[in-house]
């Protein structure tokens, strides 16, 4: 295992996103949009260097929630996350299946 400056082992990075879908969509449209987001993002598994795990929670969201979709992904390190953010296959999904349908995005990235 590589060592970082502090002498600790490399830490992996969690990349968590919560999105709200635009209000203009019906519940059926939102179901289809959530399905497309899930299929698109989870389809990146094995295609992006340093991406260890990617899961999208788009079903079973309780009424008490104020988000519609959650991305939970794990990367080898911060550099891998940076590479993911500009990777053409990720951008294709983000620009085609996510950004046109969402009104808000909250992101939390952390090492563990």
Taking only the tens place, the pLDDT of each residue in 8-18 is 578 999 999 99
CA 67, 69, 73, 77 dihedral sign is: negative
Q: Is the pLDDT of residue 5 over 80?
A: no
pLDDT range class, residue 92, cuts 50, 70, 90: very high
pLDDT score at 8: 58
Collapsed DSSP state (helix, strand, coil) of residue 86: helix
pLDDT at residue 2, as a whole number:
41
Count CB atoms within 10 A of the CB of residue 27: 7
pLDDT at residue number 10: 83
pLDDT tens-digit profile of 23-63? 999 999 999 999 999 999 999 999 999 999 999 999 999 99
56-61 long-range contacts (CB < 8 A, ≥24 apart) are 58/34, 59/34
Residue 7 confidence (pLDDT) above 50:
no
Is the CB of residue 26 less than 8 Å from the CB of residue 45?
Answer: no
């Amino acid at each position: 295992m590589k060592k970082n400056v502090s002498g600790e082992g490399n830490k992996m990075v969690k990349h968590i996103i919560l999105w709200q879908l635009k209000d203009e969509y019906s519940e059926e449209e939102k179901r289809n949009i959530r399905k497309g987001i899930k299929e698109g993002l989870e389809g990146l598994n094995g295609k992006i260097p340093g991406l260890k795990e990617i899961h999208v929670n788009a079903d079973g969201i309780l009424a008490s929630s104020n988000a519609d979709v959650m991305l939970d992904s794990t990367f080898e390190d911060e550099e891998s996350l940076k590479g993911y953010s500009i990777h053409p296959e990720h951008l294709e999904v983000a620009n085609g299946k996510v950004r046109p349908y969402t009104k808000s995005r909250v992101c939390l990235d952390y090492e563990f």
